[in-house]
Structure 1
């Protein structure tokens, strides 16, 4: 059972990304996706990250809200 606090920094850590506020801002500035591209299909994810996003959304996991928030930030 996952009991970690779910916030944007922890989502980045879960994805294996640098989760400092500065690096999160840089990631969002650098990685933009078109409105017609699903977040999980963005070209910058590796297979593990893509799978985590897909599974979390499919299972309506606790991470869904933050994944949706990240999705909106990348548009």
Structure 2
């Protein structure tokens, strides 16, 4: 299995969020768990630009898709 093209921290940077480990963990703890029927990009805490980026990354199966899936999984855990 190849490592993701983009590291998790780089996704947070792309989204304009603090990207250090403590900030990422705090973000996940603050926003998890997402309802099982809600798409990641539909979560109310994203700006319009962030939501569009996440939706496009998944729909286009872009090189960001794997790390966006990782974020999705992280936000679904209790």
Normalised to the residue count of structure 1, the TM-score between the two structures is 0.91
Give the superposed CA RMSD: 0.8
Partner Cα distance (1:55, 1:72) in 2: 17
Q: C-alpha displacement at 1:58, in angstroms?
A: 1.3
Q: Which runs of 5+ in 2 are unaligned?
A: none
Q: Which runs of 5+ in 1 are unaligned?
A: none
Aligned to 2:23: 23
Normalised to the residue count of structure 2, the TM-score between the two structures is 0.87
Partner Cα distance (2:53, 2:66) in 1: 14
Runs of 4+ in 1 over 2 A off after TM superposition: none
